[in-house]
Amino acid sequence: MKKIYLWALVAVFALSACGLTKKDLGLEHRGPNEATVKTNKPLILPPEYDVRPQKTLPYKNPTEDEVKD
C-alpha cells in the first residue's frame, strides 16, 4: 500500500516538473502580451461644456416664509 502512495507521489512530482504539463493545467503564470495591449484615446471635453441647460421646471422652490404658512 505504501508503494502505491510512493509511486503516485513520484508521478505527481514528475508531471509537475514538466513545463508542458504546467502550461496545460494552468499553473504557469502568463503575463499580458505587449503587442495585443490597446491604448485608449485621451479624453476630451465637449465644445459646449460650459453651456448650462435652460430651466424648464414649472414650479418654484418654496422659501422659508411660504413653508411656515
- Chunked into runs of 10 residues, the chain (69 residues) has average pLDDT values of 86 71 72 82 84 72 64
Give the pLDDT score at 57: 65
> Using CA atoms, how far apart are residues 1 and 8, in angstroms rounded to an integer?
11
> Using CA atoms, how far apart are residues 22 and 28, in angstroms rounded to an integer?
6
Alpha helices in 1-69 (DSSP H): 2-17, 19-25, 64-68
Give the pLDDT score at 35: 82
pTM (two decimals) = 0.29
Give the pLDDT score at 53: 74
φ/ψ of residue 9, rounded to 5 = -65, -40
Give the pLDDT score at 17: 67
Give the pLDDT score at 64: 64
> Using CA atoms, how far apart are residues 3 and 13, in angstroms rounded to an integer?
15
